[in-house]
Each structure stands twice: as structure tokens, then as C-alpha cells.
Structure 1
Amino acid sequence: MNRKLITGFAVAVGALLLGWFVASPWLAAKALGDAAERGDVQAMERLVDFPRFRDSMKQEFNARFVEEMRASSGGDPLAGLGALLGPALISGAVDALVTPQAIAMMVRTGEAPEADEVTRAEPEKDQPEPKRTLGYRDLNTFAIGFQDAERQDRAITLLMKRRGLFGWKLEAVDLPERAAPAGR
């Protein structure tokens, strides 16, 4: 009898831990959304790895910048200068832009921020809520996607990374690909 009781207890504890392991990113995403809605800066700082998030944002913007420089250079001799200065300008802008308030705005609106929008407290009233999708990308990466049919160019996917067995932090962002201009 004792052996069956111990085995049953071990199975129940294992199932509980497995359930917690699988559910933990949804709980972390909910905590991130709640902190964003409340404007809780301290909670945002606990839930976001700001240095890694900034690096991710810099990579996304630099890739977009290089793509746009290639598409628009057309043999311009100043394009090389722009290619040299662009990453430094992007780095400074991202460092100034990525704050708890800016990330809270991204979580609330599902849009990549622009410098003049970061202080806006709420999404515009006539703007519909973006559709949120939640799901694992892999065992250690959880994606919070925002889909807005009207403004796909500003939609984002926030990526949370596993910390230990049950902890999660927002570490990266995926920005949508820019559509090529017509005629290219």
C-alpha cells in the first residue's frame, strides 16, 4: 500500500511540475500585459531584459536600414557615408527609446514605437485592439504576436526567453519585413 501511495504522489507531483513548466510562459506573458496596463515600471524591469531587448531592436533596425540603403543608393556617393553613420545613429536612438514605458506601449498596442509616440499613455480610441497570439517557438522561446490587418507594417512579435525552469523574461523583438515598393 505504501508503495502505491508513494508512486501516486510522485506521479501527481511530476504532473504538477510538468503543467507548471508548460504554463509558465503564459503566466509570464499575462504578468507582462498586466504590468503594461498598470504602467508598473518596477514590474516591467523584472520582466524585461533591457540590454538584450535593446540589442535585438538594434539588429532589427540595422537590418532594415541596410536593406533600405541598398534599395535607394542608386550609385549615390554619399550612400557609403550613410552606411557608416546609420548604425551609430540607430544605436543611440534605440538606447534612448527602449524604456519601460516604451515596452509597455508595445505590449498594450502591439506596435513598434516611434520616438514621438513613447509617451502616449493609451492607444488611440478609434484604433482597434490588435489580435494577440501566444505560443512556443521552441522549448525556450515564447512568442507574443500582434496581428492588425490595417497596420501590418507596424505589427511586432515579442519574444520571451526561458530563465531556469519556470522563469521567463522579454528579451527580443521581431519586426515585420517591409514590403518592397511597387515596380522593384
Structure 2
Amino acid sequence: MKTKTWAALALVFAAALAVYWYESPWLTLWQMQSAAKSGDAASFNAHVDYPRLRESLKGQVSTLLADQMGGSDGNNVGSAIGGLLGMFVADKAIDAFVRPETVMRAMQDGKLLPSLHHRKPSASSPDGTAPPPAGERLQWQTEREGADRFVAYALKPGTPREQATAFVLARQGFADWRLSELRLPQLAR
């Protein structure tokens, strides 16, 4: 009788552990959203791998710059030097721009780049921008890319997924997830 009880307990424990492992990225996403909403940078930072996040953005910007430079004459030395200078400046700008405040704001707004229209400052937000209007609440769509990647798309109502910023969490350890990549919608729109 005791053997069956221990076996049942082990089975329940294993099932609970499997459910926790499977649900852990959603829990991390919720914790990040809560920390961003409350402005708790320390709790938010516990779930972000800033070096990998910066590298992902540098790669996207470099690709964009290379695509733009590809349309020009490849023999033009000035264009090549200008492209390299642009990539250097973009790298430094991303290093300076990707900070807890901007990434937390991106999670609230659904985009990393500030909008082109100005918002009235609000006393409730530390960076002087007002929160999105209540009618513009973000809708989150998620998908798994294998066992080690979890992608959450921040969608405004009526926005197609390909125009949304994607927050990519990478698994580290058993059930610890960190924001390691932001996939920006097409920058050249």
C-alpha cells in the first residue's frame, strides 16, 4: 500500500513540475508586464539579458543599413565608408538607448521606437510620456519556437502580427526565462 502511495505522490509531483515548466514563460511575461507597469526596474531587470538584447537590435539595424546601402553603387568608396560610419553610430546609439526604462516602456506601448506624434507629459510616467489610451490596450499573442524560445507579440487592436514588436524570451536553466531579443516590425515603412 505504501509503495502505491509513494508512486502516486511521485506521479503528482512530476505532473506539477511539468506543468510549471510549460507555463513558466507565461509567468515570466506576466511578471515583466507587472514590473513594467509599476516601474519596478529591479524586478524587470531580473528577466532581461541586456547584452543579448542589444546584439539582436544591432543585427536588425545593421541589416537594415546594409539593405539601404545595397541599392547604391557598390564601387562608391564614400558610400561604403558612410555605411560603416552609420553602423558604428547605430551600435553606439543602441548601447545608449537600450536601458531598463526604454525596454519597460516598450513592453507597455508595444513598440521600442517612440511614436512620431508627441504625447502630453503625464505625472504618472517617469519618462514624461502618457500611457496608451484605454482603448489601445495591448493584446498579447504568444507562440513557442521549440523548447527554448517563447515569442510574445504586442498587438494593438486591428494590427496584424507582422507589424507588431515581438518580445522573445529564451530559456536559461530549467524554467528561468529572459528577454533576449526584440524583433522589430519592418523599420522601413
What TM bracket, shorter-length normalisation? 0.7 to 0.9
1:97/1:115 contact within 8 Å kept? no
Q: Using the alignment, how far apart are the partners of 1:127 and 1:65 within structure 2?
A: 35
Unaligned segments of structure 1, at least 5 residues = none
Q: How does 1:28-107 map to 2 (within 5 A)?
A: 28-71=28-71, 73=72, 77=76, 78-107=78-107
* 1:164 and 2:173 correspond: yes
2:53/2:181 contact within 8 Å kept? yes
State TM-score, norm by structure 1.
0.85
1:162/1:168 contact within 8 Å kept? yes
Q: How many residues align?
A: 179
Query: Shift of the alpha carbon at 1:131?
Result: 2.3
Deviations 1:151-174 (A, max 9, x none): 978631010111111111111111
SS in 1 for 2:18: helix
2:155 maps to which of 147, 161, 164? 147
> What is the RMSD computed on CA atoms of the aligned residues?
2.7
Q: Using the alignment, how far apart are the partners of 2:47 and 2:31 within structure 1?
A: 8
Runs of 4+ in 1 over 6 A off after TM superposition: 115-118, 151-154
The 1:179/1:96 distance shift into structure 2, 3 A limit, reads: closer
Q: Using the alignment, how far apart are the partners of 2:167 and 2:127 within structure 1?
A: 20
1:112/1:154 contact within 8 Å kept? no
Query: Shift of the alpha carbon at 1:120?
Result: 4.2
Query: Shift of the alpha carbon at 1:102?
Result: 0.5
Q: Using the alignment, how far apart are the partners of 2:63 and 2:112 within structure 1?
A: 15
Unaligned segments of structure 2, at least 5 residues = 119-125
Q: Using the alignment, how far apart are the partners of 2:138 and 2:75 within structure 1?
A: 40
